Amino acid sequence: MTNIVLEAQNLSKSYNGLQAVKDLSLKVEEGEVFGFLGPNGAGKTTTINMLCGLLRPDSGLVLLHGKAVTNGSKETKAMVGVCPQNIVLWSKLTCLEQLIFVAQMYDLPERKARENAKRLLHELNLEEKSHKRAGTLSGGMQRRLNIAMALVHDPQIIVLDEPEAGLDPQSRVSVREYIQSLSRKKTVILTTHNMDEADRMADRVAIIDHGQLLVMDTTQALKAQTGDGDILEISLTNGLTDAETANRALIGFADKVSYEENSHSLHIHALNSIAHLPAFLERLINAGFAPGEVKIRQTTLEDVFIQLTGRRLRE
């Protein structure tokens, strides 16, 4: 039986008449990596801020272990560690100094604070930089220190807002591995607009757009909703873009056909798509389409998003 550590019930928030989050409800289970996926401006950070107590919702409740918490309560603060999207460090303090300082702000005694700080610096490969001022670190190191600041007080729930943003590929891998190691001991809530990041790291994903929760499930279940098999992307070179016509043309061969506006391409979900490719092309040409470039790939969360919204995650 899963243990729900964090629950949002009907959260809503507006800014100057603009609805940032609308009637959002979700549950986060203990020990999972929960992903928030959505384009920029979808309401991810606003939701996270409400869950962490940085922002008071216009309506709705946040429950921590089943107990309603008032925003900014000490309970919430002690149990949640937040790594913001922007790098937020005291540039004049060394890595060790600021980790100890943050830990002490959460009432950890100095000895324990120092212990945690040194352990985290070691785990995040920053041990050599312990006595260097944060302002002198590279971007990747600063981002790792940013993550360490969220963990130093040993919270049960860790919120990571776009943790891989601005990292080089090597650093991304090490951060990803570190987050996955955390999930065995902590509950991790991850926000991202990077579908690969969500796909690789999250156990369950909630897709959010325009402040509303569109869908929430495991990544496999979400991808399965879009259809079986692989996806063929066929770009179209003439004006005919009607997905209905394409569906009729490919009936019996393809599971689902959709049109993606930005790339002017048809996305065809089908089993054995390589084998059926000549037949697909012939039928599409007969139906009046002018196929161009052909790509084949596996279903991604972006396909889920496109199916739900008709747009890509990256506009």
Contacts with another protein, residue ranges (CB under 8 A)? 52-56, 71-72, 74, 77-78, 80, 82, 84, 86, 88-93, 97, 101-102, 104-107, 133, 149, 153
Q: How far apart are CA 42 and CA 23, in angstroms?
A: 14
Residue among 39 and 57 whose Cβ is closer to another protein: 57
Residue among 48 and 250 whose Cβ is closer to another protein: 48
Residue among 104 and 125 whose Cβ is closer to another protein: 104
Least CB distance to another protein at residue 53 (A) = 6
Least CB distance to another protein at residue 133 (A) = 7
Least CB distance to another protein at residue 81 (A) = 8
Residue among 93 and 215 whose Cβ is closer to another protein: 93
Strands 212-218, 256-260: parallel, antiparallel or unpaired by DSSP? unpaired
Q: How far apart are CA 276 and CA 15, in angstroms?
A: 51
List strand residue ranges (DSSP E) for the chain, in order. Answer: 4-15, 18-29, 33-37, 59-64, 67-68, 80-83, 157-161, 187-192, 204-209, 212-218, 230-236, 256-260, 265-270, 291-297
Residue among 161 and 303 whose Cβ is closer to another protein: 161
Least CB distance to another protein at residue 224 (A) = 38
CB atoms within 10 A of CB 128: 10
Phi, psi of 55 (to 5 degrees): -140, 135
Least CB distance to another protein at residue 18 (A) = 14
Least CB distance to another protein at residue 100 (A) = 9
Contact 70, 42 (CB under 8 A): no
| Residue 141 CB-half CA count within 13 A | 18
Phi, psi of 53 (to 5 degrees): 90, 10
Q: How far apart are CA 2 and CA 195, in angstroms?
A: 26
Residue among 149 and 246 whose Cβ is closer to another protein: 149
Q: How far apart are CA 220 and CA 314, in angstroms?
A: 21
